[in-house]
Structure 1
Amino acid sequence: MAGLVNQAELNPALLPLEWLMGTWESDGPGEGCFPTIKPFRYTETLHFSHVGQPIINFMFNAFHAESKKPMHRECGFIRMQPGTNKVAFIIAQNSGLVEIEEGEVIGQQINLQTHALARISFAKKPHVQQILRAFQLRPDGKLEQTVSMATDNQPLTQHLHITYRPSS
């Protein structure tokens, strides 16, 4: 039902990620670059929610900063290995890439790296081969994300950097 507020308590397995929950809006445009593309600026909304299970649901929506046209979309799930600081993101992207990133939660920081990648048979080349992703809640209450990637023909290089503020 639209407008229904989630009344479920956060599953105890997710307590290390409680700081991530809610909606985040870009705090000014983020910057994207890669050796094979023209640099760009983008805005993005992140939404992290739960229904009481030991899983966080997420949706990321990016828009071109100048034209406002939709760009990248990602959705998926976040799981923690109970009793540890190990975390996994299961991500489906609108580009046809599906990935599993695994890593650790250390305080209010998440560091992830590619564990598995799959793509649709007609995905645009060059193909992504590796992704590193980091989230950090800064002391000023803003969330920062950095994404690096490697493709068939480019080594691991920073691709995205953006800072978010909590949505009001």
Structure 2
Amino acid sequence: MKVNEALQPISWLAGRWSTKEGHGSYPNINDFSYHEDLEFICIGQPMFNFLSLSKHPEKQTPMHQERGFLRIKPGTNELAFVVSHNFGLTSLEEGTCDPEKKEIVLETVNVNRMSFAKPPVVKKFKRIIKLIAPDVLEVTLFMETDNTELAQHLKAVYKKVDE
């Protein structure tokens, strides 16, 4: 996949990724597993179009979906990640990438939710995306709600499916 020149510091992210099983936990819920497919596709602009589809590992029923854009400020390592979640939330996360470590760290700048989204209210995310081998990606998501301090919520290792 050809990516915009501005995306070179994070070009390793391009393509489709899949995990057999991710793990979720949070202080007030039972631990769970999930299967997830990620997609970071460049259509020529200085950003990746992002898609995440999660489903139950046994039943294959949908669990969660995210769509958005991971944008880089050209000539820098500064990133902005705009994400829309299917449970009625949009988030703007900003951060940086470390091209040497092949790691991205993003934290919430803004969260908005629809008026009838179910509680608890999500207040913050922290997302760490890192390439741990040439075709292996690890994503860790931390979450804070109005009931719980920032805590690890999701962690998964993905294998590159294709470019």
TM-score in terms of structure 2 length = 0.94
Structure 1 residue 82 displacement after superposition: 1.4
Distance apart, 1:140 and its partner CA: 5.4
Match of residue 111 from structure 2: 117
Inter-partner Cα distance in structure 2 for 1:159 and 1:126: 14
Residue 83 of structure 1 deviates from its aligned partner by 1.3
Question: 1:127 Cα shift?
Answer: 0.6
Q: How does 1:124-135 map to 2 (within 5 A)?
A: 124-135=118-129
Give unpaired runs (5+ residues) of structure 2: none
Give yes or no for the alignment of 1:34 onto 2:32. no
Instruction: Indicate yes or no: 2:79 matched with 1:79.
Output: no
Match of 1:20 among 9, 13, 26: 13
Taking the aligned partners of 1:126 and 1:51, their CA distance within structure 2 comes to 36
Runs of 4+ that moved beyond 4 A? none
What amino acid is the match of 2:113? R
Alignment-derived partner of residue 50 in structure 1: 42
Q: Runs of 5+ in structure 1 lacking a partner? A: 1-5
How many corresponding residue pairs?
160
Instruction: Tell me what 2:153 maps to.
Output: 159
**Distance (Å, rounded) in 1 between the aligned partners of 2:3 and 2:153:** 32
The residue correspondences of 1:59-70 to structure 2 (distance < 5 A) are 59-70=51-62
1:84 maps to a residue whose letter is T
Query: Alpha carbon RMSD of aligned pairs, Å?
Result: 1.2
**Identity rate of aligned residues, in percent?**
42
TM-score using structure 1 length: 0.91
